[in-house]
Amino acid sequence: MPDREADRVRSIYLGAWRIDLARRPGVPRLLPDVGLARTIAVALDAVGAPSPASIGLVLTGDDELAGLNARHMGAEGPTDVLSFPLLPPEAFPHHPGRGLAPAAQLRAFVLPPGRRRHLGDIVVSVERAIEQAREGRGGQTGDIAWRPADELLLLAMHGVLHICGWDHAEPTEEAAMRALEQRLLCNGRER
């Protein structure tokens, strides 16, 4: 009998990127898989992620995010997105707000020819994205009412930036991260 979880994983190749998209059973489909994958690929290109590479995106609900949030972040309750990077921030190009550090030596991650480096995994609660968007708690500022699909795109993009060494703990880096997200979202709507 086939593994029902495996049946819901789809690998989408866009340029140098492979996006492994997993949709848990019962999770609403707000956007086509290829649309989500394009958003991720555009974000990876924008930050200069090392390529070729793969990245995972898991679309799930609040229960799974609550468990991951407790286990990995020590926080109670669900959150909207969690990122699990596999490379250090220094493996990615420098960006505004990030402290200067020597570039990481990626030689430790050398793979055989033709193999892709896996950058990490992003887990998004589609349930939380829908609720935040509909209740006017979406967007970068947490006070936007918009389409749940737009909230899902923002969360996926936000997760990519965390995978690629971006953060929002310091004001300068937060401003740079938010500006990049805004630019990428606007460009995506023009397509």
Largest CA distance in the chain: 52
Where do runs of H (alpha helix) occur along 52-141? 62-68, 126-134
pLDDT confidence band for 185 (50 / 70 / 90): confident
Has residue 103 got a pLDDT over 90? no
Instruction: Give the residue with greater pLDDT, 1 vs 83.
Output: 83
Which residue ranges make up each domain of the chain? 6-93+115-190
pLDDT of 106: 47
pLDDT of 145: 83
pLDDT of 26: 92
pLDDT of 61: 96
pLDDT of 105: 46
DSSP assigned state of 99: P
* 152-178 confidence digits (pLDDT tens): 999 999 999 999 999 888 888 889 999
pLDDT, average across residues 5-11: 71
From the candidate CATH numbers 3.40.309.10, 3.40.50.300, 3.40.50.2020, 3.40.390.30, the one assigned to the domain spanning 6-93+115-190:
3.40.390.30
Query: Chain-centre distance of CA 46, in angstroms?
Result: 13
Residues 44/55, Cβ–Cβ less than 8 Å: yes
pTM assigned to the model:
0.86
Lowest mean per-residue pLDDT among 53-62, 92-101, 116-125: 92-101
CB within 8 Å of 94: residues ≥ 6 apart: 100
Has residue 3 got a pLDDT over 50? no
* 18-42 confidence digits (pLDDT tens): 999 999 999 999 999 999 999 999 9
What are the tokens at 10?
Answer: 């789809």
Single-letter amino acid, residue 189: R
Lowest mean per-residue pLDDT among 44-58, 99-113, 152-166: 99-113
Q: Please give the share of the chain, as a percent, with pLDDT higher than 90.
A: 61
Instruction: Give the residue with greater pLDDT, 190 vs 80.
Output: 80
